[in-house]
Structure 1
Amino acid sequence: MALGLFRVCLVVVTAIINHPLLFPRENATVPESEEEIIRKMQAHQEKLQLEQLRLEEEVARLAAEREALERVADEGQQQNETRTAWDLWSTLCMILFLVIEVWRQDHQDGPSADCLGGDEDELPGLEGAPLRGLTLPNKATLEHFYERCIRGATADAARTRELVEGFVDDLLEALRSLCSRDADVEVEDFIGVDSMYENWQVDRPLLCDLFVPFVPPEPYHFRPELCCSRRSVPLDRQGYGQVRVVRAEEDALGCVCGKSPLGEDMLCLLHGSHSAGRPGRGLEALLCAGDPPYLDTARVMKWFQTALTRAWHRIAHKYEFDLAFGQLDSPGSLKIKFRSGKFMPFNLIPVIQCDDSDLYFVSHLPREPCGETPASSTDWLLSFAVYERHFLRMTSKALPEGACHLSCLQIASFLLCKQSRLTGPSGLGNYHVKTALLHLLLSRRPADWQAGQLDARLRELLRFLEKSLLEKKLPHFFIGNRRVPEGMGLPEAVRRAEPLNLFRPFVLRRSLYRKTVDSFYEMLKNAPVLIREYSLHIPSDQASPPHKAVVL
């Protein structure tokens, strides 16, 4: 009974303890927390899976980029190897072509054994090169042509020079009398240049070229500037220079009276009074252009023409002829007009001496084709005419008696002149022919210029011109030519300058080049006929047609 009562009490106590209202269970939410935990764990697992996918994609992308970079590097290396191989192949091809060209010049176009004198610096490729279209007459006909036509036509050159020089002396003296020594430009004695003074003039009428140097009044002086002496100079200005006009006070070597004020009672023994020591203030406005002032070629020629006109009017009553300007496009061209209708032309060109040398700055060079127009009016042409005359005289002393060098130049000039009258002027002029002769004179032995070798030397001169035309290259004889004898006194800046190509205009002007080449080969074709014709008789129409004249 007691056991039964105990069981009843135990059941009651258990019932009371497990009743939810009296004792709520704390773990009633566990099932819900487990579900939340499971849900969160599933969400975290999904996030981890997404992150794993993203990381796998990132790793794949990086791997792809690395493979692309490796591929680009491999392609670049292959291209570099290909480029290196191509450059090496191009270099080998260029070297091969140069070797072939040197071999061709040495073995195919080389001179014959009896041609050149064995000098290492002689010009190659002349004797063996074909001269298209040239068949000169035999030696006897050529010598007869020279004696009958050319030598006889130039017999009165001395008389012509004497007449022109006497008149020019009188004209320049009249010009000096009209100028004030303290305020005007001073004109010096003339200098004869070119063919008439080198004894190879053949063209009619005989023409004298005279340089007239002039110097400025005090306190001015000229400061020449050679373009070829500069480190970098355009090719089209290499044969030019400029002349700067400098006052005494601008020069460290000038007189002290131009640098410091003098009192009224003080006198400069060199320049006189201080007020008279600064004349010619209008020289810059009269002859110069730019700042700092440089001599202007157009203004100088205008001043020179005006001065010559005034001087002629002063002495015109003493002469029985008239003086006129010959060619309007050549400012220094003058002509003496006789009452009989004959005329005697000459060129009077104002020039400026370059320091103490025989190099002169010239405003223009008449009768020269294939010339480049200067870029500025302050650019003056460099003339080596006096050096050329000295070189020919110096060379003639070493040549055999009766040497044929001038005869070759005269015949070539004669043929060129006749061809110009037939087909019109071309880009080839007498100056180019003379330059070619000067190169040959420097390259050959003196014994090669004997009188009996006239035909061989003439052929060689024409071959040299042909080769130069085909290559469009004729080096200036003095500029950049270090083989010129030092005894010539050539300025060192000219000797060390870059060589000047006289045929450079042919590279830029194709129409002129084609016309010149055609005219040259036409001249070679007509040369035998002209030589035979003029050997039989001397035509009477050797005078050139008159140009328009302006009477002074």
Structure 2
Amino acid sequence: MAMGLFRVCLVVVTAIVNHPLLFPRENATVPESEEEIIRKMQAHHEKLQLEQLRLEEEVARLAAEKESLAWAEEQGQRPDVHSAWDLWSTLCMILFLAIEVWRQDYQDAPLPECLGGDEDELPALGGSRLQGLALPDMATLARFHERCIRSATADAARTREFMEGFVDDLLEALRSLGSRDTDMEMEDFVGVGSMYENWHVDRPLLCHLFVPFTPPESYRFHPELWCSSRSVPLDLQGYGQIKVARADGDPLGCVCGKTKLGEDMLCLLHGKSDREHGGGHVEDLLCSRESPYLDTMQVMKWFQVALTRAWHRIAHKYEFDLAFGQLDMPGSLKIKFRSGKYMPFILTPVIQYEDSDLYFVSHLPKEPCGGTPASSTDWLLSFAVYERQFLRSKAKALPEGACHLSCLQIASFLLSKQSRLTGPSALSKYHLKTALLHLLLSRRAADWQAAQLDTRLQELLRFLEKSLLEKKLCHFFVGNRKVPETLGLPEAIRRAEPLNLFRPFVLQRTLYRRTLDSFYEMLRNAPALISEYSLHLPSDHASLSPKSVVS
């Protein structure tokens, strides 16, 4: 038996010592092709199978010896030497188990070459794949920002004022069509996004407005966060569901049969045709089929119908037309003037989470979590209001004329130009803003002086490169306990597991490679692009003068 235990221990120790994560070989070379990697993996797999067969034979033989020992003990034969060996084997198994647990923790951690530590220790751009990359100097960046970005967004305040006045009138008309007893109630809109955070770059200027709504008095919404369930899949982190229930605790039912509705009334659960037929069809419910949870598609259809009726009510007051914008972006609208100009904006119906500034959003122009929900009952949780509040609170502590928003604007400009050149990639402006928020939290206020624009821009790009190489960019609020408590973020969000916005890159290799190539090409094009735009405005940009949108 001693020899058998020795062989088992020898095999296990050999496997541990030869594990590449525990004891990497200094002189190991990288295979030249994927075929070479696959061939070596297959050979290693066959070797492991042979080792497994040997271990199974040893275990079977040890089991037979154990049975013989048990029989010997029943016969009164109790050799003391075997007790010592049993104790030794137990200690060995505990040791091997501890090593295996440590190995798993080591394997889950980021690779050594991807670790960054402090932001000051991040690798410079010259040490990445782009050897010798040098962004323009501070004077060129400042001139570029003044000519191409600040001048193009000079009328942002006037655009917001015009749009907010129109949306106020539109929502007031919408409220006048409904009944508090039978229809949803629209609350005042909330401005979110780059237009309200003062870093918008693209033309035409685009206002994004959240429209919170509440159910009739007979109903209640019960939002359910993903972090309240331990069994939620990874691809549904950041989403939630909205359960509809009667306020009196009765099973979900419709009150339109108990209340006389007008011709223009919109019921929470049924359409007008359903009431005329004396009942409701399941496919017309705002809830999902045979489910008490709100359906995002049904809500958007209801919202679009309500907006159309509201516009028809006030259209005679305006000298322009209102139309729906992009078909793949629900809530996208645009004002069309007689001169041919237009003003786009987005109205998104949202549901507030308890008394916080979190909102469940039916749709966004692009999902910041890097995917699409598996079910239409999954609502994306938006932190847009908290992001705006954090930027405003940070701006009060930063030096006058701080460069943080300028860095974000320049990076966003470069990403937009690259998307037009090679098509959109999985890297979005939301990722740029998330990276900036992380840097704002880790950097001192004095580091964001206007004279350090070039240094901070390079640091932002290095942070993005590091995140792409690691395939890991943590959501700024979810699971981040460094966020100031003064923002009032719900404790359930602070204590949740961190949410990786780059998780799709781990699962989709082609998408990752395309995004990484696009990012490096953007960096290669950045010096020439900034220099060109800082000297003169190209025709496609100069045509967008501050007065070309509102007429």
Q: Same fold (TM over 0.5)?
A: yes
Per-residue CA deviation, residues 465-493 of structure 1 (Å, 9 max, x unaligned), is 11111111110001111111111111111
Per-residue CA deviation, residues 118-141 of structure 1 (Å, 9 max, x unaligned), is xxxxxx525587344332111111
Q: SS where residue 289 of structure 1 aligns?
A: coil
Q: SS where residue 336 of structure 1 aligns?
A: strand
Separation of aligned partners in 1, 2:151 and 2:186: 36
| Aligned-pair Cα RMSD in Å | 3.1
Q: Does 1:77 align with 2:19?
A: no
Residue 213 of structure 2 contacts residue 349 of structure 2 at CA under 8 Å; is this kept in 1?
Answer: yes
Per-residue CA deviation, residues 411-444 of structure 1 (Å, 9 max, x unaligned), is 0000000111111101111000000000000111
Matched residue, 1:433: 432
Q: Does 1:125 align with 2:112?
A: no
Count the aligned residue pairs: 443
1:86 to 4, 10, 14: 14
Separation of aligned partners in 2, 1:296 and 1:501: 26
Q: SS where residue 345 of structure 1 aligns?
A: strand
Per-residue CA deviation, residues 15-66 of structure 1 (Å, 9 max, x unaligned), is xxxxxxxxxxxxxxxxxxxxxxxxxxxxxxxxxxxxxxxxxxxxxxxxxxxx
* 1:165 maps to amino acid: E
Per-residue CA deviation, residues 129-172 of structure 1 (Å, 9 max, x unaligned), is 73443321111111111111111111110011111111111111
Q: Does 1:282 align with 2:299?
A: no
Q: Which entry has the higher C-alpha Rg, 1 or 2?
A: 1
Matched residue, 2:534: 535
Q: SS where residue 434 of structure 1 aligns?
A: helix
Matched residue, 2:169: 170
Alpha carbons of structure 1 residues 126 and 79: separation in structure 2 relative to 1, 3 Å: same
Residue 238 of structure 2 contacts residue 369 of structure 2 at CA under 8 Å; is this kept in 1?
Answer: no
By how many angstroms is 1:251 displaced? 7.9
Matches within 5 A, 1:218-297: 218-250=217-249, 282=269, 286-297=285-296
Separation of aligned partners in 1, 2:330 and 2:477: 27
Per-residue CA deviation, residues 1-25 of structure 1 (Å, 9 max, x unaligned), is xxxxxxxxxxxxxxxxxxxxxxxxx
Separation of aligned partners in 1, 2:8 and 2:179: 77
224-233 or 468-477: bigger deviation:
224-233
Matches within 5 A, 1:506-517: 506-517=505-516
By how many angstroms is 1:276 displaced? 5.8
Separation of aligned partners in 2, 1:344 and 1:85: 69
Per-residue CA deviation, residues 66-113 of structure 1 (Å, 9 max, x unaligned), is xxxxxxx5664243222332355257962779699998678xx666xx
Alpha carbons of structure 1 residues 543 and 148: separation in structure 2 relative to 1, 3 Å: closer
Separation of aligned partners in 1, 2:164 and 2:327: 23
Alpha carbons of structure 1 residues 190 and 153: separation in structure 2 relative to 1, 3 Å: same
* 1:145 maps to amino acid: F
Q: Report sequence identity in percent.
A: 70
Q: SS where residue 22 of structure 2 aligns?
A: helix
Alpha carbons of structure 1 residues 103 and 541: separation in structure 2 relative to 1, 3 Å: closer
Residue 287 of structure 1 contacts residue 299 of structure 1 at CA under 8 Å; is this kept in 2?
Answer: yes
Separation of aligned partners in 2, 1:478 and 1:247: 33
Separation of aligned partners in 2, 1:156 and 1:103: 48
Separation of aligned partners in 2, 1:311 and 1:281: 17
Residue 331 of structure 2 contacts residue 348 of structure 2 at CA under 8 Å; is this kept in 1?
Answer: yes
Matched residue, 2:81: none
314-323 or 80-89: bigger deviation:
80-89
Q: SS where residue 287 of structure 1 aligns?
A: coil
Q: Which runs of 5+ in 2 are unaligned?
A: 26-105, 271-281, 545-551
Matched residue, 2:48: none
Matched residue, 1:365: 364
Matches within 5 A, 1:132-531: 132-133=129-130, 134-250=133-249, 282=269, 286-368=285-367, 371-531=370-530
Matches within 5 A, 1:23-38: none
Alpha carbons of structure 1 residues 235 and 129: separation in structure 2 relative to 1, 3 Å: farther
By how many angstroms is 1:320 displaced? 1.0
Per-residue CA deviation, residues 184-206 of structure 1 (Å, 9 max, x unaligned), is 11111100001000000011111
Q: SS where residue 288 of structure 1 aligns?
A: coil
* 2:12 maps to amino acid: T
Alpha carbons of structure 1 residues 432 and 167: separation in structure 2 relative to 1, 3 Å: same
Residue 402 of structure 1 contacts residue 451 of structure 1 at CA under 8 Å; is this kept in 2?
Answer: yes
Separation of aligned partners in 1, 2:368 and 2:163: 25
Alpha carbons of structure 1 residues 524 and 247: separation in structure 2 relative to 1, 3 Å: same
Separation of aligned partners in 2, 1:418 and 1:538: 14
Separation of aligned partners in 2, 1:251 and 1:484: 41
Q: SS where residue 334 of structure 2 aligns?
A: strand
Separation of aligned partners in 1, 2:291 and 2:302: 20
Alpha carbons of structure 1 residues 298 and 326: separation in structure 2 relative to 1, 3 Å: same
Separation of aligned partners in 2, 1:367 and 1:282: 28
Q: SS where residue 335 of structure 2 aligns?
A: strand
By how many angstroms is 1:282 displaced? 3.3
